[in-house]
Amino acid sequence: MFLAASFGFMSVTANAQQKKGEPWEIPAEYKKMANPVAADTASIKAGQMAYSRNCASCHGKTGLGNGPKGRMCKTFPGDFSDAAFQGYSDGEIFYQTKFGRGEMPAYDKKIPDTDIWNMVNYIRSLKK
């Protein structure tokens, strides 16, 4: 019981030491970009699989920013379920995933655009 409580405290402490990310500078064309992939069950499932392979280690299994690699970052990876993140347009989330910045890697040469759009659809399903 004590071990579990201690581990929980350490996790909270590690996140408290992380800085909040600066606002993203996203080109207008991406802010307005519509998701060309319908957010149906197949897309969300494909997005979840791609997310699990590429994103969960930092952003956590449910997008709370608590993945094992994410806890080691200087900048908090972000909470995909919160209203501020969910307020991004689909194109803005696509841009962040495709081009990255700082500790967030760019996936433009690693993940096809269709898979990124599927991940956007999955990330939308994480909304609180």
- List the chain domain ranges: 2-124
Q: Name the DSSP class of 24.
A: P
Question: Regarding the domain with residue range 2-124, which homologous superfamily does it belong to in the CATH classification?
Answer: Cytochrome c-like domain (1.10.760.10)
d(CA 128, CA 120): 15
pLDDT along the chain (128 residues), means of 10: 37 64 95 98 98 97 95 95 96 98 96 98 95
Question: Do 70 and 77 form a contact (C-beta atoms < 8 A)?
Answer: yes
Task: Please state the pTM of the whole predicted model.
Answer: 0.85
